[in-house]
Amino acid sequence: IPETCPLDYEGDVDPYHPDSYTTVGSGRSLMGEMDMVQEMEHSHMHYVQSECNAMLDMATCVDWSLWFDTNNVTMSSEVKIPCGECVTLDAGPGQDMEGLTLEFEQGLNIVGKLVIPSGADIQLITKYVFVQGVLEMPPPPAGTPISSEDSGPKVKITLYGTEEVIFNPDEATENSHKGGEAVSAKAFVVAGGRVDVRALDPGCPGWVKLQSVTYGAALPNIALNKPATQS
**Beta pairing class for 222-223 and 166-167:** unpaired
Domain boundaries, the chain: 21-223
Which whole-number Å values give the CA distances from 182 to 114, 116, 133, 159, in the listed order?
24, 28, 20, 16
- What pLDDT is attached to residue 25? 42
- What pLDDT is attached to residue 172? 94
119 residue type, one letter: G
C-alpha span between 92 and 96 (Å, rounded) = 8
E strands of 27-94, at which residues? 41-42, 45-46, 62-63, 74-75, 79-81, 86-88
Q: What global pTM score does this model have?
A: 0.71
Give the chain's residues under pLDDT 50. Answer: 8-44, 226, 230-231
Closest CA to 185 of 203, 166, 204: 166
Q: What is the largest CA-CA distance in the chain?
A: 52
- What pLDDT is attached to residue 213? 53
- What pLDDT is attached to residue 145? 72
Closest CA to 118 of 56, 37, 208, 28: 28
- What pLDDT is attached to residue 69? 77
Alpha helices by DSSP H, listed for the chain, are 27-31, 64-67
Tell me which DSSP letter residue 31 carries: H
Residue 35: how many CB atoms within 10 A of its CB? 10
